Structures are given as C-alpha cells and as structure tokens.
Amino acid sequence: MRVSKKPVLYSILIGLLLMTISYFFQPLMPFQSIAHRGASALAPENTLASFEKAIELGFDYIELDVRLSKDKQLVVIHDANVLRTTDGEGLIEDLTVKEIKKLDAGSWFSPAYAGERIPLLNEVLKEVSGKTGIIIEMKSPENQPGMTEILADMLNSYKPDNQIKVQSFHINEIKKFHQLAPEISAGLLLSKHLDLFHLASYREFASFLSVHHLLLSKSFINQAELFGYEIYSWTISKQYQFADMQRLGVHGIISDDEKRIPDSIIYVLITPFLKGQDFFKTLLA
C-alpha cells in the first residue's frame, strides 16, 4: 500500500509559512546605532572624516580602534600595518607619530579624501566628545605593553563624559582596564558562545558584550540581560540584518552604514532569499 507524501509536504509548507509570518510580525525593538570605524561605508575608516560623517548621519556612537605608536601614543587605526589604508607601509609599533602623520589615509578610499590623516585618539576625543558616544577597541593590548595603562590614564580625565566605552577581545586586559578606570564602561568582544558561568564571572568587570551577529540568539540575549549586560552585535553590512538584530532585541548595532527603510515591498519579499544566499556563503567560506 502506497502512502501519499502530499500531506507531509503540505505540513512542511504550512509550517514554513507560519514561521515566516511569525518572524515578520515580531516587533522591531529600538537600538543604539554604532558607526563601525566611523561611517566607513561612506568615508575612509578610522579618520576624522568618517567620524564627522557618522555624526552628520545621527549615529549614537562611533566605534574606533587604537594601537600604540613607536613613541607610545594612541593611534586610531585598525590594522597593525599601515599598508591597507595609507600610501605608506610598516607596522604602527615601528613608526613614530611624526612619521604616521605624513601618511595619506584617504586616497585609497576616494580621491575626494586625499590628504586625510591617521588621527591620534586625543584628537578624536577633542573633536567628537559631546557630539556622539565613543566605543574604543584596544587592538592586541596583550602584545603592546603599556597600552591599557596609557588609555586608562587618558580616559580618566574624561570621567564626566559617560558616553565613552572601551572594549577588547582580551579578557585580562579589559579586567585590568576596569581596575584602572572603574568609572569607564568596559566590555568584551566575543566570537564564540559564553556559558552561564562565564556570563556571571565576567560581569565583575564588563558591563556590555559585543557579539558577532551570527552567534546571537534570543535565548542568549535573555540570559545576558539577567546579569545586566547590554548586547551589541557586530558587524552588520546588509540592510535586512538590521531587522534580524532588532527582532532579537540587541541593545546596539555596529554597522558600516546607517539603517534605511526598504523602499519597496519587493525588497521585503526577497529578504528570505538574500538571507539564504548569505547563509550558504558562510557555510562555504
């Protein structure tokens, strides 16, 4: 006796339809917008131009990276080497500020930004403080002796400004930073899951967690909120991902560009297809 497969197929299709409808009708929660290295989709990353563009667009925070120069000054740049984002070459740790300031950090992005310079952190603080919040990532502080102490000393003079936060992947350095500057909000960058034990133990020195968006789930956010964490997702590059993060209930979204309202129903309808494409790209990467 042959059993018809149609009822099973119909059940699967109905289930998928109900899941899709449920997904799209979940509320979109408000979030703090965080400009990844400034408005880096529109201006050269980690420059005053990108930070000014982020302020112009109304971002709640700018996110930037710092490294130590040869003469122990905090330089705003992501890479250890200046090759990708300037017309020069060499490691930041081998260059003095005088040498770094000679580099063109804008032409690689667009001729319109020719002559843009790599800023120092104290220059950014003077230019941006009071206009928007700032999230500072310490890049490889475990390999740059003195970075955490220098940053803590600098930011302690900005204590009245509670719009400054510091984050890093390195747990011990964030713990040290919190001890040196307890009034400045500190957080951990995460590229792997945390269990309840670690959520509880890290809360002693971290008030927020910046988590790769593919690791986030509603259950994880609910658990983290029980311990009082704010959750930021990084780094959002597709417009549909904003809605995904809002439905999860993240507190902040780190992105290269601002969120835009889809201008047609077609975009909304093809979103599942776009998500599927990205999912398979991630699996094959």
CB 62 within 8 A of CB 34: yes
How many Cβ atoms from other residues are within 10 Å of residue 13's Cβ? 10
212 is catalytic: no
- Residue 50 CA to chain centroid, in angstroms? 15
Q: Judging by beta carbons within 10 Å of its beta carbon (0-12, 13-18, 19+), is residue 112 exposed, middle or buried?
A: exposed
How many Cβ atoms from other residues are within 10 Å of residue 261's Cβ? 7
Can you spell out the DSSP letters for 32-43? Answer: EEEEETTTTTTS
The residue assigned the tokens 């990844």 is: 36
Strand, coil or helix: 46:
coil
Q: Shortest CA distance to 78 belongs to which of 54, 113, 50?
A: 50
In degrees and rounded to multiples of 5, residue 162 shows phi and psi of -85, 10
The residue assigned the tokens 């093809």 is: 270
- Spatial separation of the C-alpha atoms in residues 104 and 115, rounded to whole Å: 5
Q: What is the dihedral of CA 94, 135, 168, 205, to 10 degrees?
A: 130
78 is catalytic: yes
State the angle between helix axes of 147-156 and 171-180 in degrees (0 to 180), rounded to the nearest 10: 30
Q: Judging by beta carbons within 10 Å of its beta carbon (0-12, 13-18, 19+), is residue 165 exposed, middle or buried?
A: buried
CB 236 within 8 A of CB 254: yes
Q: Please identify every residue annotated as catalytic.
A: 36, 78
